[in-house]
Amino acid sequence: MQIKALISEGKAQIEAAGYSTVDAEILLAHLLGLTRMELHNPIALERALAEVTDESAIVDGYAELVKRRCNHEPVQYLTGTAGFRNLDLVVGPGVLVPRPETEGLVEEVLKHIANLPGPVSVIDLGAGSGAMAISIATEAPNTHVIAVEKSMEAIEWLKQNVAFYDESIRIFQGDVADVLEGVKCDVVVANPPYVPDSQPLPKDVANFEPAIALFGGPDGLELPKRFIEAAARLLKTGGLLAIEHTETQGAAIAKLLSADFNQIALHQDLTGRPRWTSAIRGNQ
């Protein structure tokens, strides 16, 4: 099997479709049961190739995956996994692919939790695949984490990830507006749908990822407002909210928060863009 030729052809096709050539390596590594880094390790690659019993299945399978990527299917859906911090989460149709930009929000929330006496109660509103909820639960063992998700399709992925990483995480299906009545917590994290309805998105996002997890109303703020109202109801006085948004929504999010929160602060993501806001619940 001519690995270099396969990768070269895959890269050419994927680049022509407008995507990173790294995707070609990820897809071939996936078929061979390797990580992308192992694909470049001669010993690991030789071992993987020695276990191949049907070269044509690899060649044909790779061609099919490259074709699907060129047709804009997310590479994470093709491999069935998405990396987030220390996690390898299972993902697929019906759930939003977790983004590395969200990792910075989790990092700062973990620092906040480290300064609180345990146990610390955390609610993830709109948990999706469970990226934030599971990261917090596994990296801060002094927490009790609840993951809230409305979409039944997303919950199926959430359940798989929770079962693999931390079964102590409690999952609730429902709308943030009325879920967990009477519950109070120390921390709320939220990645609500915040994209304005008319905003164009890349084809792999627009054509495949769930609209329910993306679009937040005409100006993108309708659903973030509902998430903020839910957080105000759920948080104890002095509790922390960390909410993600677009890089242009910081001022509008701060205005929505001003009724019930103080110490409102805008934060940059890993790429230096203002992409999430923290706030402390005021007296109730």
pLDDT at 209 over 70: yes
pLDDT digits (tens, 9 = 90+) for 219-265: 999 999 999 999 999 999 999 999 999 999 999 999 999 999 999 99
pLDDT at 85 over 90: yes
Query: What mean pLDDT is predicted for residues 151-172?
Result: 98
| β-pairing verdict for 185-190 and 235-244 | parallel
Q: Over pLDDT 90: what percentage of the chain?
A: 95
The per-residue pLDDT for 1 is 65
pLDDT digits (tens, 9 = 90+) for 49-77: 999 989 999 999 999 999 999 999 999 99
Summary count for the chain: helices (H), strands (E): 12, 9
Query: What mean pLDDT is predicted for residues 152-162?
Result: 98
pLDDT at 165 over 90: yes
Question: 10 Å Cβ neighbour count for 215?
Answer: 19
pLDDT at 284 over 80: no
Hey, which CATH number is domain 86-281, 3.40.50.150, 3.40.50.1370, 3.40.50.300, 3.90.79.10?
3.40.50.150
Domain positions in the chain are: 3-71, 86-281
Question: 10 Å Cβ neighbour count for 272?
Answer: 8
Alpha-helix runs per DSSP H in 33-151: 36-39, 42-50, 55-70, 75-79, 103-114, 131-139
| Average pLDDT, rounded, for the chain | 96
Q: What is the pTM of this model?
A: 0.93
Sign of CA dihedral 37, 40, 46, 52: positive
pLDDT digits (tens, 9 = 90+) for 101-128: 999 999 999 999 999 998 999 999 999 9
Type of residue found at 282: G
Query: What mean pLDDT is predicted for residues 120-145?
Result: 98
What 8-state DSSP symbol labels residue 179?
Answer: S
pLDDT band at 2 (very low <50, low <70, confident <90, very high): confident
